[in-house]
Amino acid sequence: MKDISTKLVNAGKDEALQVIDTINPPLHRASTVLFDSYADMLKANKGEYEGIDYGTCGLGAQKAFEAAMVELEGAYGCKSFQSGIAAIAMVLMAYTKQSDHILICDNVYGPTRHFCDGFLAKYGVETEYLPSDAGAGVVDYIRENTKLLFMESPGSNTFEIQDISAITEVCRTKSVVTVIDNTWATPLYFNPFEHGIDVSIQSCTKYITGHSDILLGTVSTNEQSWDTFNKCCGLFEVYAAQEDCYQGLRGLRTLKVRLKAHEQAALEVAKWLANHEMVESVIHPALESHPQHDLWERYFKGSSGLFAFTLKEQYEDIDHSPFVDNLELFGLGYSWGGYKSLITGGKFRRTNHFGYEGKTLFRLNIGLEDVEDLKVDLKQGLEQLKG
Ligand SMILES: *Cc1c(COP(=O)(O)O)cnc(C)c1O
């Protein structure tokens, strides 16, 4: 008979080890992963063990989610991170070193820019910003020490599109690693690897998890770029939590139907806004009025639920609070891709070739509410601005 203290440590274990065949992967809670034999441990000591030897390698739900992303995107490998920006930061660190030069499209997500200017600069990596509608002309920006080119297409605030294949063609001949933040389109509406991109990033916080309750990011790469990235991740040992990866995987199961619903509703609201007497322009890549609509059609299989609009001149330099604060269905908050409609607004300050520089831009995340209800809400909100 074992002592009670030994029982406390070991009781219940055999039952827990029984394999229960569920549809979804189990959630492991583990730092330590037990080896079958001493021989396996000796292999792990030398870095030659094939299996998972510690919790930081990623356990069931992480592996399942990453494998799903690899399959979806046609990638070689995928790693998950605790947020989209953590994924972006890891990519920017993995492929650069002191004295390198990198190119970033000017329309990138703000925090991506802050990471380059606030962190990479400290380590002697020079960032140069490309026009947001960049194409084959990037050849003129590439220097001897240019290592990476980062795209975001369409940009998640201003929706400029890069001529992706023209860029990857140039970069391939110059050994510049190409990266895209593919959050807007998701792997469903744009496949980076089919267009010669080396590294694809998703903020799964948006459509993939889809419920505004998870922060999660992924990085997928092609075969050629995998080793460099994987090794860097191994040094940092940063990765996403089990529960969040589980939710990421769960989100994938319904992504197609959710995205279709977001797409259709957003198109309806965008077209309605385009005809509204107070609206100057609607910035939505799938509308013919978008300055790069042709490029969008060439690359994308669909559009998502995020777009922006500006108001006519007489409503530009006024207090917009009566509009925004009186919306009933649109939450006022950052992020997007979730089931609830959201609005953000503010002056647009970066360089832009579409004439929106210095204008107030309202960005809408169209959720899964009824479209007519959303229109009624926007209509009454806009009415509040009429003096
Ligand atoms: C939100 C967002 C990110 C960052 O994702 P988090 O998970 O919120 O860190 C990156 N890129 C784009 C385009 C985004 O919209």
Residues β-bridged to residue 20: none
State in Å: Cα 5 to ligand 1 middle: 48
Q: What pLDDT is stored for residue 238 in this prediction?
A: 86
Start-to-end CA distance of the chain, whole Å, equals 86
Q: What is the mean pLDDT of residues 250-259?
A: 97
Q: What pLDDT is stored for residue 18 in this prediction?
A: 72
* Closest CA relative to residue 63, chosen from 255, 242, 223: 242
State in Å: Cα 159 to ligand 1 middle: 15
Pocket of ligand 1 contains residue 180 by CB under 6 Å: no
Average pLDDT, the chain: 95
Atom of ligand 1 nearest to the CA of 83: 7
Domains of the chain: 15-57 (no CATH), 58-251 (3.40.640.10), 254-386 (3.90.1150.10)
Digit-coded pLDDT (tens) for 211-234: 999 999 999 999 999 999 999 999
Among the residues of the chain, which ranges form H helices?
4-10, 13-17, 38-45, 60-73, 84-94, 110-118, 164-173, 186-189, 223-236, 242-274, 293-299, 321-325, 371-383
State in Å: Cα 377 to ligand 1 middle: 27
Pocket of ligand 1 contains residue 84 by CB under 6 Å: yes
Q: Whose CA is nearest to atom 5 of ligand 1?
A: 84
Residue 352 has pLDDT above 80, yes or no: no
| Edge-to-edge strands, sheet with 77-81 | 77-81, 217-221, 199-203, 177-181, 146-152, 101-105, 126-130
Digit-coded pLDDT (tens) for 71-117: 999 999 999 999 999 999 999 999 999 999 999 999 999 999 999 99
Residue 351 has pLDDT above 90, yes or no: no
pLDDT class of 240 with cuts at 50, 70, 90: very high
Q: What pLDDT is stored for residue 194 in this prediction?
A: 97
pLDDT class of 147 with cuts at 50, 70, 90: very high
Tell how many helices (H) and how many strands (E) occur in the chain: 13, 12
Q: What pLDDT is stored for residue 205 in this prediction?
A: 98
Residues β-bridged to residue 146: 101
State in Å: Cα 204 to ligand 1 middle: 8
pLDDT class of 17 with cuts at 50, 70, 90: low
More confident residue, 204 or 18: 204
- Which one-letter amino acid corresponds to residue 191? N
Atom of ligand 1 nearest to the CA of 88: 10
Task: Give me 84's structure tokens.
Answer: 């989209």
Pocket of ligand 1 contains residue 244 by CB under 6 Å: no
Pocket of ligand 1 contains residue 204 by CB under 6 Å: no
Digit-coded pLDDT (tens) for 55-78: 988 898 999 999 999 999 999 999
Q: What pLDDT is stored for residue 348 in this prediction?
A: 76
Residue 249 has pLDDT above 70, yes or no: yes
Tell me which residue has tokens 């020490």.
Answer: 145
* Closest CA relative to residue 133, chosen from 296, 314, 310: 296
